Structure formats: structure tokens, C-alpha cells
Amino acid sequence: MKKIFLYLFMLVSAAVLAADVWDADVVYLICKPAIMITLGLHYLVTQKENNQPISRSLVPAILFSCVGDTLLMLQGRDANFFVYGLAAFLVAHIFYILTYRQHRSDDNANELQGLQKIRYAFPIILSGTGLVVILFNRLGGMKVPVVVYAAVLTTMVITALFRFGRTNATSFGLVFGGAILFMISDSLIAINKFLEPLSMAGIWVMTTYILAQYLIVTGLSKHTMADTPY
């Protein structure tokens, strides 16, 4: 029973993917918002079991992700819901950035140094800006929102990268891997919406997104917060 919410998370995630394949709209509408709800509850239970504090910035990140999921799910009924969903995830990424900065030690002796930070951050920046450049002329009235979102998303991934050496290897690897997958998922959404339709776009977007959120939340729970103020 300790992992009941993890099992529920896995169940609703599988249901969403299946619903996308078989066009089961009702199942999709019910289960997609439940992805982050069950993952959030799993996080709360895990922290309690491990006698670790609850992050005041991670919980809002999870909640705004849930709101974003719901709004993007409704974009077929009203195009404005895409903008609203983008805004919700923008806020979620800001909270993730705050959480990453919170979930790292004060000891920076082993962190990436000057040129190392530039070297490892450059491919991330190139990926984020490169896609915007490719899509820019196709964005229409969405130019400003997409550019702002891409900047915050890229910052989120770089902040995850800069946890290197300031947390344990497991926490760093899971969170950074999740952040990369989040960027991939959002990139697939942008390509599918603004450039050209992708085959099985829904499956690829949701698979990378679900894995991203799971890895990030799990990785953050692996960081010991005993010396970190809340």
C-alpha cells in the first residue's frame, strides 16, 4: 500500500497513452489531469515515509503542471486554451527552477566551473534557440509567448545541469534526465503544432512528458534536505 499512488500514476499514464491510440476521449479527459495528481501524492507520501520536508516550490510546480495538462487538453475546443496551458507550464518551470536551486548543497567545491558551465550549457542553449529560429516565421501572433516560454524552459534545463556536484549522483542524473526529456516533449509539441504534423505525435509527446515528470520528482526526492531551509 505504500506505493499505491505510484501504481495509480502508472495506471493513469498507461490509460492516457492507450486512449490516445484508440481515440478514447472520455478516458483521456479523466486520466490526463490525474497524471500529476497521482505523482504529486506519491511525492508527498514518499517524503513523509523518508522523514523529509515537503518542498514549498515543488508542490506548486506539480499543481501548475496539472493545470497546464488540463488546459492543453482543451485546446481543440478553443485555441486560447493553448496559450493558457503555455502560461501554466511557464509558471511550473519557474517553480522547478526555484526547486532545483533549493535542492542542492551549499558546498560548491565540486560543481562545474567557469568554462565547464559554458561548454555543457551551450548545447542546451543551442537546442532551445535553434528550434525557435526554425519556427519563428511560422509562429504568427505566438512569437512573444513562445520565445519567452523557450527561454524559461532552457533556463530550467540549465539550472538542472548546474546541480552537478552539489547533490548526489542519483538525484542529479534523474532530474537532469527528466529536464532534457521535458525539453524534448515541448519541442515535439512545437514542431507538431507550428512546423509539420508528426506521426504518432500524441504518443511521443506524452511518453517523454510522463517520463520527464516522474524522473524530476523522483530525483528531487532523492536529495537529502536536512540542511536546507524551507
At 64-98, the pLDDT tens digits run: 999 999 999 988 777 789 999 999 999 999 999 99
Q: Give the predicted TM-score (pTM) of the model.
A: 0.94
For residues 9 and 86, give the distance between their C-alpha atoms in angstroms, rounded to a whole number. 23
| Cβ–Cβ under 8 Å, residues 16 and 206 | yes
Give every residue of the chain whose pLDDT is below 50, as ranges: 226-230
> So what's the pLDDT on residue 66?
98
Q: Which of 158, 167, 176 lies closest to 107 in space, CA to CA?
A: 167
